[in-house]
Amino acid sequence: MTAAPSPFIIVAIDGGAASGKSSSSRIISERFNLLHVDTGSFYRALTAGMLRAGASATDLPTVKTALAALRLGTRVNGRSAEMEIDGRPVGDDIRSRAVNENVSHFAAIPELRAALLAYQRGQADVARAHGFRGLVMEGRDIGSVIFPQADFRFFLHADPVERARRRASEGQHDSVVERDRLDSSRKTAPLACPDGATSIDSTHINLEQVVALMSAAIAQKLPAA
Ligand code: CDP
């Protein structure tokens, strides 16, 4: 008798700026052998590309022209999916102050979000092609728009003061409150906990405890790798 093939699972982790999405999804990707996809890094990479091309978030034609000229690819580095623009991996400038200040403005543009939709869904094919057992994708609209049928949908909250402290301790100039305000109030795919998602408040629990909650749910469907 042959063993039933393991399922291919999709884990969506959404939440506000510095809510712990990246750290928890990285650990989940290792524990269950899933491709780790940080969609915030995609919006950051596109923002850096837009700024390089001289596009402005307040001037839609410049954004459309710059978008039409970009060729997006994916490179798998370890367990992480990394965006390539015009065949080149994106650099450290995606965490720069200019990108922090501009990313939510570009991310509010429906045309820019539409340009990333198929690319993000296509990460499931990238995961399969590289032999992963599924993917864990983090962002703002993964459980609501990109993969509403994901096997697991988590939404991370944390007190804004605690999140600002975390970002500052990483040495970054970043206004998490202002980005959350922009991300929550935009018309297209606003940041919000989707119906049916599991909401986790990480203000007073540590990373291990967050990951333990997620792992316990996922392990019911897929044993740890
Ligand atoms: O790491 P942090 O939570 O601070 O932010 P990020 O995940 O790197 O995302 C940067 C920005 O990209 C967010 O503030 C959003 O404006 C945008 N974003 C989005 O609109 N939708 C996503 N799925 C992911 C990010």
Q: Give the contacts of 57 (CB within 8 A, at least 6 positions apart).
A: 50, 63, 102, 105, 106, 108, 109
Are the C-beta atoms of 42 and 90 separated by less than 8 Å? Answer: no
Using left for φ > 0, alpha for ψ between -120 and 50, and beta otherwise, residue 195 falls in beta
- Residue with the smallest CA separation from ligand 1 atom 20 is 107
Does pLDDT of 186 surpass 90? yes
pLDDT at 87: 92
Partners of 9 in beta bridges: 134
pLDDT at 4: 67
pLDDT at 1: 60
Residue type, 22: S
> Which pLDDT tens digit goes with each residue over 4-35?
667 899 999 999 988 999 999 999 999 999 99
Query: Best of 179, 186, 202 to mutate for ligand 1, by most ligand atoms within 8 A of CB?
Result: 179
Does pLDDT of 149 surpass 70? yes
Q: Give the contacts of 131 (CB within 8 A, at least 6 positions apart).
A: none
> Which pLDDT tens digit goes with each residue over 47-105?
999 999 999 999 999 999 999 999 999 999 999 999 999 999 888 889 999 999 999 99
Prediction pTM value: 0.94
Show the domains of the chain with their CATH numbers. 9-219 (3.40.50.300)
Instruction: Give the other-Cβ count within 10 Å of 87's Cβ.
Output: 8
CA 145 – ligand 1 centroid, Å: 14
Question: Comparing 79-83, 171-175, 215-219, which segment has the lowest mean pLDDT?
Answer: 171-175
CA 140 – ligand 1 centroid, Å: 6
Query: Best of 22, 24, 39 to mutate for ligand 1, by most ligand atoms within 8 A of CB?
Result: 39
**Over the chain, what is the mean pLDDT?**
93
Q: What is the mean pLDDT of residues 132-150?
A: 97
> Which pLDDT tens digit goes with each residue over 90-111?
888 899 999 999 999 999 999 9
Q: Indicate the pLDDT class of residue 207, thresholds 50, 70 and 90.
A: very high
- Residue with the smallest CA separation from ligand 1 atom 7 is 40
Does pLDDT of 172 surpass 90? no
Looking up tokens 């393991």 gives: 6
